[in-house]
Amino acid sequence: MSSEQDIKTIVRKKYSEIALSQVAQDEGCCGSGPSCCTSAAGVNFSEDYSDVQGYLPQADLGLGCGMPTVGSEIQPGQTVLDLGSGAGNDAFVARSLVGKTGRVIGLDFSAEMVEKARRNTAQLGHDNVTFMLGDIEDIPLPDSSVDVVISNCVLNLVPDKARTYREIQRVLKPGGRFSISDVVLEGTLPEKLAQTAALYVGCVAGAMQSEAYLEVIREAGFPEVTVHSRKPVTLPVELWKEHFSEKDHQDFLMSQVGIYSLTMGAVKPC
């Protein structure tokens, strides 16, 4: 990746394509094959939401790497912000927790994703779930306006993670908390892999070293970070075949890089 703007352009383009492909699938274009129904870079680390309250199947595009509402301690009547809300999967789960007296705000920088989420909201008939177009490095909400921030496999795609966590700290009320699922590394990706757009959009090349990531969070004003879950993730064979040579694959295996999905939480000090 040559610049932060290049990264944002690639990510926005890919996720907008995914949203449009899902709309097409909803309208029946994918009944005969997968050509317009692929997830980001063929990488799928997502959890099974099928038994979770508030789950809407068409809002689940398989782009997550955890379940951030678990451990979030969301309470009825609270205001929840979902960063990188996509088609609304985690926002709708959060809405089931805040109830009719609470509020859920989804923020995404893909206009196509926001439109898809709004269509899903209209289908559900919720009047307390809204989706906004915006950049999570510059959250368009006032200071101390949110009780809980959630995000699912999105912040690893953001070039300036420190700025994003400072923004999370800013919009949270004192005593508010975040619960975020994200991909981290242990060990260094071989250079060719680290520079590959497919892996960046697939949530791997943009991932930080695990301890460095946690330090970014602490420096943003969250002194005590709790890791709720940690699970290894594996890159699918199809990804290697499509984008890399056998030597690239062997170099990766020799590097002994560990790729993990973490779900983390912290509270903003009062």
CATH number (domain holding residue 43): 3.40.50.150
Q: Can you give the residue range of the structural domain that contains 121?
A: 4-267
Over residues 229-257, the mean pLDDT reads 78
Say if residue 27's pLDDT is above 70: no
- pLDDT average, residue stretch 229-253: 77
More confident of the two residues 207 and 22? 207
At residue 178, does pLDDT exceed 90?
yes
Which has more confidence, 24 or 175?
175
HEC string of the chain?
A: CCCHHHHHHHHHHHHHHHHHHHHHHHCCCCCCCCCCCCCHHHCCCCCCCCCCCCCCHHHCCCCCCCCCCCCCCCCCCCEEEEECCCCCHHHHHHHHHHCCCCEEEEEECCHHHHHHHHHHHHHHCCCCEEEEECCCCCCCCCCCCEEEEEEECCHHHCCCHHHHHHHHHHHEEEEEEEEEEEEEEECCCCHHHHCCHHHHHCCCCCCEEHHHHHHHHHHCCCCCEEEEEEEECCCCHHHHHHHCCHHHHHHHHHHCCEEEEEEEEEECCC
pLDDT range class, residue 79, cuts 50, 70, 90: very high
Identify the residue with better confidence: 152 or 235: 152
Query: Into how many domains does the chain fold?
Result: 1
